[in-house]
Amino acid sequence: MSDVQNEAKELTSQLWAMANDLRGKMSADEFRDYILGFIFYRYLSDKQENYIASENLLDVKAGESINDAYRRQAPVDGIEEWREDIAHDLGYAIDPEYTWTSMMQGIADQTIHPDYFQNMFDSFKRNAELAAERNNSKSEKDFRDVFSDINLSDSSLGNSTAARAKSLSNIAQKINAVTFMDAQGHDLLGDVYEYLISEFASDSGKKAGEFYTPHEVSRVLARLVTFKDAEALNKNENPLWNSARNFSLYDPTMGSGSLLLTVQKELPARTEFASTVFYGQELNRTTYNLARMNLMMHGVGFESMNLRNADTLESDWPDGTDANGIDHPLFFDAVVANPPYSQHWDNAESKMKDPRFKDFGKLAPKSKADFAFVEHCIYHLKDSGRMAIVLPHGVLFRGAAEGTIRKAIIDKNYLDAVIGMPANLFYNTSIPTVVLVFLKNRSRDDIFFIDASKGFEKGKNQNHLRDEDIDMIIDTYAARKDVDKYAHVAQLDEIKENEYNLNIPRYVDTFEEEEPIDIDEVNRQLAETDKEIAELQAKFDAMVKELVPTDKADGR
């Protein structure tokens, strides 16, 4: 772990201790919205202050802070003009009395009114809507209602408006006490935010599965979709890697956005892309808000974010619908996903007309949407792209409609690899999972199987992938050769012989033969044991005889 990561984890520990101290009777997932929301608000306010300073928008007097100059000058010039200027570039605007610095001054002076926080968030919402209407329609999706999950009337904060304002002031003060910089001046805010999400996930139990993919699992998926095929590069067959352009990345069940960010972190060492454009969709509104915050806290500008709060299977997205209402689907360089396992969905027969599902013979069962997510992801993958998705093992062998879909996927030669993962890696389930890797334009007609189920470190509540476990998976995938007890390249004929059943033990033999038993040696050991027992019994009988009085021994 790097020094920067260590410092970020230390800061996270401080904040986590503060959170536990402040939250009282609130559950982790309830309190999460307050502390993460306030951290994000501080980030936006600090970013605005830095923007105002860098653009030299103020006439700062001697001894005056940027914030004081903003509070003095903006109302004089006309607050509407300031809002428009700021929002044009940032996509949002915070009024002078509601900046983070102004808030902290009010808390210190005890001049914060009970309704201050409600007014603060209402003001932000109005300004974001005005910014979208007048200057920056692209920003609307990223800032509208981003703080809607901060419930300012929650009785857990206090029984009165004044008590709740005091609780919120305490949260803000704790956050303000933390400096999100390391000794070299690196901004650690994004990393701290990510670690905090992980901590809340760990403390939320099964609910965490709704918003967080463990970081080490994300790293596996990220390295698989940013993998360079050396042979293809030498033949110049893979246009994905040969131009300095934007890299398009999509997660249809994005949760907190952590998986998207992990993919981006893998790109610099492997590509020459100018930047990453993020696409993501999430059904849960609270989690969707978390993702927007998470990406922006990692420096992703609103112009590079295309996120939506909706049901991926019910309404296809992303699309490029034109003025005439004609759908032009978008296709991506990489698609990653960790969808909810075996989720119920509406598999009405009309969905067979949906271009995502119509070419696979059947619809996924109503009680198991796993293959519906697979089909959706494949549909949005570029011909030159790569896709990795986490699913339950059942997709490898279940029959009926799923068997039909699995056969169609294999016959279309989309499936590149099957990687069995250890059990108990995730917060929401202890079952072992599988990572499937897909490519559309494959020149080979085999499927690579890896059994990585035994490579992990056992934890108290969860198992964890170590760096060496992740490297083993990726290095084996890159070599694409048989490895005894670990990996096997299965030709299509072998798959057909197994009737398209992809259960990993059919292809990777992990059986360990027991050493032959030496019967003579076993008998010798048994005889020795019997002798030892007889000797111990004799010693015990002698001890009893010494302890029992003679008259008792004689029966008198």
Residue-wise DSSP of 163-230: HHHHHHHHHHHHHHT---B-TT--B-HHHHHHHHHHHHHHHHGGGGGGT---HHHHHHHHHHHT---H
Residue 41, helix vs strand vs coil: helix
User: How much is the pTM?
Assistant: 0.83
Structure tokens at 55: 């653009």
Hey, what long-range contacts does 61-69 have (CB within 8 A, 24 or more apart)? 65/101, 67/96, 67/99, 67/101, 67/102
**DSSP character for 546?**
H
Query: What pLDDT is attached to residue 269?
Result: 55
pLDDT of 233 reads: 38
- Residue 428 is predicted with a pLDDT of 61
Could you give phi then psi for residue 185, rounded to 5 degrees?
85, 10
Q: What residues are paired with 276 via a beta bridge?
A: 247
Model pLDDT, residue 4: 57
End-to-end CA distance of the chain: 79
- Helical axes 79-90 vs 116-134, angle rounded to 10°: 70
Output the pLDDT for position 237.
Answer: 46
What confidence score (pLDDT) does residue 549 get? 64
- CA–CA separation, 114 and 121 (whole Å): 13
Q: What is the C-alpha separation between 208 and 212, in angstroms, rounded?
A: 6
- Strands across the sheet containing 433-438: 305-309, 276-282, 247-251, 332-337, 381-392, 433-438, 415-420, 446-451, 487-491
Q: Check if the beta carbon of residue 415 is closer than 8 Å to that of residue 403.
A: no
Rounded to whole angstroms, the Cα distance separating 236 from 553 reads: 98
Q: What is the pLDDT of residue 497?
A: 95
pLDDT per residue, tens digit, the chain (556 aa), is: 556 567 777 777 777 777 677 666 677 767 888 888 999 999 999 999 999 998 888 888 888 899 999 999 998 888 888 888 888 888 889 999 999 999 999 999 999 998 999 999 999 998 888 777 765 555 666 788 889 888 888 888 888 999 889 989 988 998 888 877 666 666 677 777 777 877 777 666 554 455 578 889 999 999 999 887 544 433 444 444 444 578 899 999 998 899 999 999 888 655 556 688 999 999 988 889 989 988 998 888 888 889 999 999 998 887 765 556 666 789 999 999 999 999 999 999 999 999 999 999 999 999 999 999 999 999 999 998 999 999 999 999 999 999 999 999 999 999 999 999 999 888 767 788 999 999 998 989 999 999 999 999 987 778 899 999 999 999 999 999 999 999 999 999 999 999 999 999 999 987 555 567 778 777 888 888 888 888 888 888 888 877 766 555 454 4
User: What does the pLDDT read at residue 526?
Assistant: 85
Instruction: Give residue 175's pLDDT.
Output: 87
Beta bridge partners of 329: 319
Give me the numbers of helices (H) and strands (E) for the chain, helices first please: 19, 11
pLDDT at 410: 97
pLDDT at 204: 60
Residues in contact with 544: Cβ distance below 8 Å, sequence separation at least 6, in sequence order: none
